[in-house]
Each structure stands twice: as C-alpha cells, then as structure tokens.
Amino acid sequence: MDQRSSGASNGQTAAPANVMEQWMNGDFGFRAFKRGDVVDGSIIQVGDHEILIDIGAKSEGIVTGRELEKLSPQDLAELRVGMTVRTVILTTEDKDGNILLSMTQAEVDRDWEDAEKRLESGEIFETPITNHNKGGVIVPLGRLRGFVPASQLTRTRRRTDEASLAGLVGQSLWVKVIEVDRAHNRLILSEQAAMRQRNKTLKEQLLTELKEGDVVSGQVISLADFGAFVNLGGADGLIHLSELSWRRVNHPSEVLKVGEEVEVQVLNVDRERRRIGLSLKRLQPEPWSQIESQYQLGQVVRGTITKLAQFGAFARLEGDTRGEVEGLIHLSELADRPVQNPREVVKEGDVVDLRIIRVDPVKKRMGLSLRRANDPDFKPEDLAAPVTEDTPESK
C-alpha cells in the first residue's frame, strides 16, 4: 500500500485535488492581476514613505514614496486606514516580489471616464485657462490637460498670434468636450459649442423673465443700418435707430461702437418671434422737457452749424454733446443784409455765437439769431416780435 493509502487509513483526510492544484500553483483563491488593471482596495497601513493596500491579491499592494509625491498635501492628509481607494497596477511583481500601485494614475483614469461622460452628455462647464501654445489654450479637466484650439474660441476671444493667446491665461471660459481619444492622450474642447448651447438656454430664460420697462446691461455686438444689436447675456436685443438718441441719427455708429457696455430699457418682448426690443434714449431725460430751465430768451450761446437748408441753417448748442437740441437760424437772422442762401454766411462745422430768440418746448423748436448775437442795441422787448416765417426750427 502506498503512503497516500496508508495515510488515509490512519484517519487523515486527503486534500481535494483542486486544493492540491491551487497549492502547487500558489493560487489560494486570490485574484490574478496584470499591469494597467484598475482595482479598488482598502488601506491597511499608512507610512511616511509608503502605503500598504489590500487589493485581494496574495500580498498587499504598495504605493511607494515616489507615487506619494505626486499626491497633493490635501489628498495625503485625508488618507486613513480602512479607507477604500482606487489604484492602478504598475507592476504585478517588482524585484522584491511586491505589487506596485499608483493612486494618481487611477485618478487620471477616473478623469478620462469623466471626460467620456461629458462628451456623451454634452455637458458644458466653466474652467480657467492655465496655459497656451501656438495653436490654442490649455484648460484642466481634473488631472488631464484639455486643448481648446484657437478656431474653437469665441469671436471676442479668438486670437491668431501666440502673444495674444498668452494674454488669455488666467481668464475663465465655458467649454464643451468635443473629442476624447484616451489612447493618443487627446482631449479637445470648444468654447464656441459651449456658448451656443449656453446662449440657447439663457435666451429661453431671458425671454421668459424679461418684461417691458426692465433696465438691463449688455454689450454692443454689431451695428446695422437700422439699429444696434446688444447681447444681454445669452439673448440679443435690438435698439432700433429711432431709439438710440433723442436727436436724429443717420447710423448707429454715431452713438455706439462694437464692444461697448450699455444700459438699456426693455421696450417689448416678442416670445413668439423670439425678439427683444430695446431703447437707449429712454434712460436719458427728454431734452426738450428741460429746455426752459437750461436756456432763456435773449441768452447768447455758442453753437456749431450742423446742417444747411433752403430756409436757413441748423446749429447745435455748445455743451449739448449728444446733439439732442438744435435750433434754426432763419435766413432773415443770418445777417443784417438780405441772404438768399445760408452758404453765403456760414458752412457746416462753423462755430458761432448765437442769440436765443424763441423757445417752444411743445413743438420742440428753438429760434436762433446770428445777426443779433453781438448787437449792442439789442433789447429784450425785440423778442416780442414774431419770427418772420413759421418754418421748422429743430430737427
């Protein structure tokens, strides 16, 4: 009888075949790992130079001091025995037979998963610009470095030269993930796509919340012959040419410039057509309502000739920088001699002294006299006489 039979007959239980096989192969139900595996484990010891983690292998995994140096002081301070952490297998067996782990690579892996989820969901988020290169700017996504090409920046931020791109570092921008290629370490984001999506959401919100009479701030984004478009933070509103100023305006560029920040009043909100009407002038006092407190009959003022007409010349009074009040110098008030054409006496751009001879705030008209401005014989009672012709005396 061989020894196995003898041992069994003496009351000893023979080891099952599968247990013997595990013993021979060194496998006692432990998991088999390979390099690059992502595995969760429980911290069993925290030392100054290494951390031991139970990952269900035949021996503990080790996070070495070199790996610990890559963790932030805050992350290190939070490590506790019993805490579950995610790691990546660096090697299944070093020269001393140890399993080496990385916690930072696990965080990078988690960040790639986060990037893939953001790509799938289309989520937009705000992030700072931390660096740049000749083709665009760098933004962080966790421990990853995302790239926003210059072509994917919005129009107000787009730059072509590296020096200008460097000037964007430190600014924040809204971005959207548009490409994730983990194998080639490629993470591309777009500010343009994010802003299109964000503006759509903000526009819906503004169209719902804005009401007539609201005063809001915005930025002039474009000028057209018929008015100026103002971005209100997601939705664009139009200031019609007639709502830019109390004076006559031939083109919006006379009042505004692109990029200028302005305060405007909401005139109307057409939710069906998704349009917002704005006014700039209604936040300014109507100039003719205060005209009598600013100017008196007989007063001598300085004015600039702005326009010549068949019946006289228009002049803007000095101090009226917005040009909202103009008066008419009738042909009969241009000179002491008969005048057939105002060009005989003045031309556009001339600055002259004028006497106010008529003010009509109801009709928004002002009569001016060039010939009586420096008349030493002028008497206030002279103003009792009517103006020679009832012609339009303001624009």
CA distances (Å), origin 379, targets 204, 297, 375, 383:
64, 11, 9, 8
Domains and CATH numbers, the chain: 38-102 (2.40.50.140), 111-195 (2.40.50.140), 211-283 (2.40.50.140), 290-384 (2.40.50.140)
The reported pLDDT for the residue numbered 320 is 55
CA distances (Å), origin 245, targets 71, 173, 240:
60, 34, 10
CA distances (Å), origin 232, targets 160, 199, 235, 236, 251:
27, 10, 5, 6, 22
Run of H or E including 285: none
Residues 6+ away with beta carbon under 8 Å from 320: 287
Cβ atoms of residues 265 and 283 within 8 Å: yes
Q: Give the model confidence (pLDDT) of 310-329 as tens digits.
A: 999 999 887 654 556 788 99
The reported pLDDT for the residue numbered 12 is 43
> What gap in Å lies between CA 347 and CA 370, rounded to an integer?
13
Which ranges of the chain have pLDDT less than 50?
1-16, 19-20, 22-24, 321, 385-395
The reported pLDDT for the residue numbered 36 is 78
Produce one character per residue of 328-361: b if its CB has 16 or more CB atoms within 10 Å, e if not: bbbbebbeeeebeebeebbeeeeebebbbbbbee
Residues 6+ away with beta carbon under 8 Å from 288: 246, 325, 361, 364
The reported pLDDT for the residue numbered 117 is 95
| Residue 282 per-residue DSSP state | G
CA distances (Å), origin 48, targets 45, 65, 77:
10, 8, 11
pTM, full prediction: 0.48
Residue closest to 206 by CA, chosen among 229, 239, 230, 233:
233
